[in-house]
Chain A
Amino acid sequence: ILNVEQSPQSLHVQEGDSTNFTCSFPSSNFYALHWYRWETAKSPEALFVMTLNGDEKKKGRISATLNTKEGYSYLYIKGSQPEDSATYLCASQNTNAGKSTFGDGTTLTVKP
């Protein structure tokens, strides 16, 4: 059984602040790590999928890194905006069977 853990559980920042959260996952049998953004009343939206140790991905002000040897990934948001307020989920895929185990998410609130 995979245990995927995310921290912190919630985060409140001011507009313009930069922030980051952590996703920890078992490093054995690792296949891929996914990040999603889930806004209230909307579908979870895929942000990144990363497979290789040392991978870095970037989309606008959001970026992510991956360390498969120690089993963690960081998600960074530079210059947070109120529209970044959402729950950020990570999911670890440990086989090529198309199934992932999700963490509980980090809920970000950006105050104007």
Chain B
Amino acid sequence: SAVISQKPSRDICQRGTSLTIQCQVDSQVTMMFWYRQQPGQSLTLIATANQGSEATYESGFVIDKFPISRPNLTFSTLTVSNMSPEDSSIYLCSVAYGTGGSYEQYFGPGTRLTVT
């Protein structure tokens, strides 16, 4: 299992500003992901955070809007840039451990972002 912490736990931000969310894991892990859950919607994968290289973004998400850093195997940051009210969501960091293709996935407590 993994213990994942996120900072901040919540924030209220002004339109046009940026917020960086930190994710810390208590053990080294290869697979790390960033998700968001917009109000009334399912968890949506933003990107896979790759250690030592650029993140892999899902369709509809771009690096300019959601830059991600992954300097080592226990830490990552997600920045939400030039925020608008549509970015109001819960953002979750997640890691996965597994063998043979199937895995167990663990989530951080989330960052609740409100953009005004």
Contacts and interface: CB of A to CB of B under 8 A. Distances in A.
B102 A31 contact: yes
A99 B48 contact: yes
| Interface residue SS majority, chain A | loop
A98 B96 contact: yes
Interface residues of A, number: 25
Contacts of B105: 34, 36, 46, 91, 100
Interface residues of B, number: 23
B102 A99 contact: no
Contact of A99 (B33, B107, B109): B33
Interface string B91-115: 0100010101111111111100000
Nearest to B10: A41
A98 B30 CA distance: 10
Nearest to A100: B105
Given A98-B96, A98-B98, A99-B48, A46 B42 contact: no
A89 B108 CA distance: 16
Interface of B: 4, 31, 33, 41-45, 48, 92, 96, 98, 100-110
Interface of A: 4, 31-32, 34, 36, 41-44, 46, 49, 51, 89, 91, 93, 95-96, 98-105
5 contacts: A31-B101, A89-B42, A96-B101, A96-B102, A98-B33
